[in-house]
């Protein structure tokens, strides 16, 4: 039995070796923010780096492309180098560019090469919808019916995936595999290393959506032999709403012609020759398309500094401690109130958030917000709670569960309609 006292939470915060990082963020005193798996909070360094880029525009004008503290012409590659340690990649294998969906389109257009009876793409029924939309689109562009050629591995319980089931779907007609590293709803971690080994043994290229894992736990994409990956930077990496995304391509594929081409994928020394025939970059930079969104990438400059200082091993350790503490308090303080913890409880399979279900979830989320706790509602009856190790505390967790307990005991959630808002 854990110590349920507020004093115990305070003691854990005092022992937290990452506690100083909270002061780096704009954390409101009257708000407990547990939605960092949807949009991370603004850090002071991200603000500073954004203002620095604006200053560069102000003082240099067009010369900002090659002058100033962070010349824009090389910024995507610079940020790729800074990101690479978070996913276990080599610097030249990563570039910050596009968005999750744009990058997925680029990578599928490159790696999906149907031939003979190998025409199908394997994904899963629990994937984030944008991934499925992109895969359906790419199949149609190739003249294939998604109903027949998009194979969706099924979940046995509606929350998680069984890796044996995924492997059994890696049949001779599969031309490409795209899977999440962490399921966005239940937070289940998939065994990237094992799934990649199984795919490569069958000579099927495999890629992963890292949106809910980058910045949460260490990866070793290069050593595992993952062919490609893509992600957003506005969740745990705190790069701001609509911040530039990122992609990884294993160096084994360098020299391959990208499925989609654009001038910023050119080799840097050739780009402004303006030749009709493109000379692609010889690394992941080749997968860029148009002019990079500099102002959308600027916050990431400062944000990645914090990750370099904190270290992924320490961040993962605290993340597991926070989510375990949250689950323990839910088990004890909310017992008999209709809540079900639907995420994996084992450390090796749990991502960065806790996922609970309740028939009144939409109303409960509204009541939590009224009490200063920011959760994330997922229809029809899911509540995601993501304590972020850079800025959340054990007292945040204690207070959030305490307020939730009070909401349930007083039934104040009944003041709200049990339906989601336009944005949820």
Residues belonging to the binding site for pyridoxal 5'-phosphate are 100-101, 128-131, 209, 212, 234, 263, 291
d(CA 347, CA 341): 14
| Contact between residue 43 and residue 306 where contact means Cβ atoms under 8 Å apart | yes
**Mind giving me the DSSP string for 164-195?**
HHHHHT--TTEEEEEEESB-TTT-BBP-HHHH
Residue from 384, 391, 394, 413 carrying the catalytic annotation: 384
User: Which are the contacts of 253, defined by CB distance < 8 A and separation ≥ 6?
Assistant: 227, 228
Residue from 22, 120, 235, 318 carrying the catalytic annotation: 235
Distant-in-sequence contacts of 329-337, Cβ < 8 A, 24+ apart: 329/2, 329/4, 329/397, 329/398, 329/401, 330/354, 330/356, 330/401, 332/1, 332/2, 332/4, 333/4, 333/401, 333/402, 333/404, 333/405, 334/401, 334/404, 334/405, 334/408, 337/405, 337/408
Binding-site sequence positions: 100-101, 128-131, 209, 212, 234, 263, 291
Pairing mode, if any, of strands 373-374 and 32-33?
A: parallel
Please confirm, yes or no, whether 209 is among the known catalytic residues.
Answer: yes
User: Which are the contacts of 235, defined by CB distance < 8 A and separation ≥ 6?
Assistant: 36, 37, 38, 39, 40, 211, 212, 214, 215
Residue from 16, 209, 376, 396 carrying the catalytic annotation: 209
List the one residue out of 421, 419, 395, 392 whose CA is nearest residue 25: 392
Please confirm, yes or no, whether 128 is among the known catalytic residues.
Answer: yes
d(CA 280, CA 270): 9
Residue from 128, 133, 254, 416 carrying the catalytic annotation: 128
* Helix ranges, 100-239 (H): 100-111, 129-141, 146-149, 163-168, 192-201, 221-224
Please confirm, yes or no, whether 384 is among the known catalytic residues.
Answer: yes
End-to-end alpha-carbon separation of the chain, Å? 35
State the residue for tokens 């839910």: 330
Burial class (CB in 10 A: 0-12, 13-18, 19+), 391: buried
Active site residues per annotation: 128, 209, 234-235, 384
């Amino acid at each position: 039995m854990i110590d349920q006292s507020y004093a115990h939470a305070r003691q854990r915060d005092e022992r937290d070796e990452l506690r100083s990082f909270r002061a780096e963020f704009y954390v409101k005193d009257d708000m407990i923010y547990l939605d960092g798996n949807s949009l991370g909070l603004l850090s002071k360094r991200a603000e500073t780096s954004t203002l620095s880029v604006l200053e560069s525009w102000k003082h240099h004008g067009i010369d900002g492309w090659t002058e100033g503290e962070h010349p824009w012409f090389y910024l995507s590659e610079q940020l790729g180098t800074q990101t690479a340690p978070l996913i276990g990649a080599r610097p030249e294998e990563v570039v910050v560019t596009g968005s999750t969906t744009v990058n997925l389109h680029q990578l599928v257009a490159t790696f999906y090469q149907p031939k003979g009876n190998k025409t199908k793409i394997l994904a899963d029924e629990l994937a984030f919808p944008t991934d499925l939309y992109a895969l359906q689109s790419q199949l149609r562009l190739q003249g294939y019916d998604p109903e027949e050629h998009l194979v969706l591995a099924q979940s046995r319980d509606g929350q998680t995936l069984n890796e044996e089931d995924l492997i059994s779907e890696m049949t001779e007609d599969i031309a490409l595999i795209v899977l999440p590293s962490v399921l966005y709803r239940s937070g289940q971690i998939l065994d990237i290393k094992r799934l990649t080994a199984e795919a490569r043994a069958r000579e099927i290229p495999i890629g992963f959506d890292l949106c809910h894992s980058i910045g949460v736990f260490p990866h070793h994409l290069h050593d595992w032999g993952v062919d490609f990956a893509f992600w957003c930077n506005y969740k745990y990496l705190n790069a701001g709403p609509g911040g530039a995304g990122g992609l990884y391509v294993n160096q084994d594929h360098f020299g391959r012609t990208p499925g989609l081409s654009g001038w910023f994928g050119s080799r840097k020394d050739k780009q402004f020759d303006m030749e009709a025939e493109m000379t692609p970059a010889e690394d992941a930079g080749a997968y860029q398309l148009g002019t990079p969104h500099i102002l959308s990438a600027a916050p990431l400059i400062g944000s990645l500094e914090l990750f370099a200082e904190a270290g992924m091993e320490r961040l993962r350790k605290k993340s597991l401690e926070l989510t375990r503490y949250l689950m323990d308090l839910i088990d004890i303080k909310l017992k008999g109130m209709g809540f079900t913890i639907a995420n994996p409880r084992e450390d090796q399979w749990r991502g960065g958030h806790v996922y609970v279900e309740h028939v009144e979830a939409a109303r409960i989320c509204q009541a939590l917000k009224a009490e200063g706790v920011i959760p994330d509602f997922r229809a029809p009856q899911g509540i995601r709670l993501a304590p972020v190790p850079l800025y959340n505390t054990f007292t945040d967790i204690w207070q959030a569960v305490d307020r939730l307990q009070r909401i349930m005991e007083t039934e104040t959630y009944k003041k709200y309609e049990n339906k989601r808002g336009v944005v949820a």
